A and B are shown apart, each in its own frame.
Chain A
Amino acid sequence: MPEIIRSRDTTVFFYGDRQTVTVSDAMLASGWVGGQGVQWANSTVDERLVTYSRGFYGGFLVWGSDERGDDFASSTRQQLVYAYATMFSGGCLISTVAYEQYTYASRIGGGPFVPLVYAPNDTLYLSLRGLWTKEDELTLSGDPQAPCFFVGFVAQVPSFLNGNRLGIQTSM
């Protein structure tokens, strides 16, 4: 059995487009996981600024703000210090922890969490907190900006074989 070492939040099998972007104060304050979806935000200066996605997209941040894989290295928390991140877009093939594991309704309700069951070729969106999901949360939440943009497909479902990471073919 081939071994794929998934030591980071997001493992990139094939990369599409990538660029560096400035991240918002909200993201600097709270951090992000690798694979986090982001969308463009207004800025008062000449910069390309992104913040947490809430259904729209500019891309996803390939590295988390404070991953264990960066500990004890020169890259420790460097993105937070310099207020930037590397954003991927276009067609990528990735494996990530940054996906919704429970349905939107169960996350905002008072009842037990209901797991989201992913299948190959499921259409994916970014959730209201910028994680990959099969649910259109703008529509589910009654947001007037609905629907969410389509951003990819499920390439591999989470299981013990892949460390419960979601394989995604991105299309953004």
Chain B
Amino acid sequence: MNRDRDCVILVKGDAYAVAIDDVLANGGWQGGQGIQWVTPIAVGIPTVTLSTGYYAGFALWGSDEPSDQYVSSTRQFPAYRFLVLGAGGWLISTISYEKYTYLSRVGLGPLVPIGYNAGDRLVFSLRGYWTIEDEWTLSGDPRGVNDYYIGFVAQAPSAVNSYYMSVQVSI
């Protein structure tokens, strides 16, 4: 299987275009990264920002992927301030998952890998990556327990799949 993008679609669910806020337009995003709804500053159309644990869906394509270089689609998303959102039921294979535990990422010690297994339930992390950890609880977030489950691990990352994680999306 040729995995030359951030997010490879194996089975397609719902997809539609939405506007992006300044955070996404200026900071960019990866294909497969989680996004959530946000109140637009001035424009009255549905708008998303990077997920902090909530969800609207995930971005099918990244804002500036290597595969888009030297073609007409180069950076078209941030330029026109939109992205294509995926929701519903999907089967994807993506690099946009947390590879290390939250505590090891915010601490000073060595990074501790997260061990994923097929069937694990997934939520979005505080930066919108797929993860098995409830980062709201781990960070003391006032939102409490993040039980917004949005998918399952279909295939754990390993050398045989170029360390992409396959996710059965349920949004």
Spell out A's residues near B (CB within 8 Å). 1-2, 4, 13-14, 16, 90-91, 93, 119-121, 153-157, 159, 161-162, 167, 169, 171
Partner of A121, one of B16, B36, B87: B36
In this assembly, does B141 line the interface, its C-beta being within 8 Å of a C-beta of chain A? no
- Contact residues in B for A13 (Cβ distance below 8 Å): 16, 46
B1-20 vs A, CB cutoff 8 Å, 1 = contact: the mask equals 00000000000011010000
Question: Which A residues are in CB contact (< 8 Å) with B36?
Answer: 120-121
What residues of B have a CB within 8 angstroms of the CB of A169 in the complex?
37, 56, 87
Q: Which of A16, A93, A121, A159 has a CB less than 8 Å from the CB of B44? A: A159
Top 8 closest pairs, chain A to chain B, by CB: A161-B44, A120-B37, A121-B54, A14-B16, A162-B44, A91-B88, A155-B37, A91-B14
> Measured between C-beta atoms, what is the minimum distance from B39 to chain A in Å?
6
A120: contacting residue among B13, B39, B87, CB under 8 A: B39
Chain B residues closer than 8 Å to A161, beta-carbon distance: 40, 42-44
Quick check: is B25 within 8 A (CB to CB) of the other chain? no
Report chain B residues within 8 Å CB of A157. Answer: 39
A90 to B14, CA, bound (A): 10
B158-171, CB under 8 A of A: which get 1 and which 0?
00000000000001
| Neighbour of A14 across the interface among B14, B39, B40, B55, CB < 8 A | B14
A92: nearest chain-B partner, CB-CB: B14
CB distance from B36 to the nearest CB of A (A): 5
Chain B minimum-CB-distance residue to A121: B54
Contacts of B42 in A (CB 8 A): 1, 161
Q: Which residue of A lies closest to B19 (CB)?
A: A2
Residues of B within 8 A of A (CB): 13-14, 16, 36-40, 42-47, 54-56, 87-88, 171
Q: With A91-B87, A169-B56 as known contacts, state yes or no: A156 contacts B14, CB within 8 Å.
A: no
Known pairs A120-B37, A121-B37, A121-B55 / 5 extra A-B pairs, C-beta < 8 Å? A14-B14, A120-B39, A155-B56, A156-B37, A169-B56
**Which residue from B39, B43, B47, B56 sits with its C-beta under 8 Å from A153?**
B56
- Known contacts A1-B42, A2-B45, A91-B171; decide if A16 and B14 are in contact (CB<8 Å): yes
Q: Tell me, rounded to whole Å, the shortest Cβ–Cβ distance linking A104 to chain B.
A: 22
Query: How far is A171 from B148 in the complex, measured between Cα atoms in Å?
Result: 12
Q: Which residues of A contact B43 (CB under 8 A)?
A: 1-2, 161
In whole angstroms, what is the CA distance A162 to B39 when docked?
Answer: 11
**Residues from chain B with Cβ under 8 Å of A155 in the complex:** 37, 46, 56
**In the bound complex, what is the Cα–Cα distance between A154 and B37 (angstroms)?**
7
Task: List A contacts of B88 (CB < 8 A).
Answer: 16, 90-91
Give A162's nearest chain B residue, CB to CB: B44
* Beta-carbon contact of B37 and A93 below 8 Å: no
A sample of 12 inter-chain contacts (CB < 8 A) reads A1-B42, A1-B43, A91-B13, A93-B46, A120-B36, A121-B37, A155-B37, A156-B39, A159-B39, A161-B43, A169-B87, A171-B171
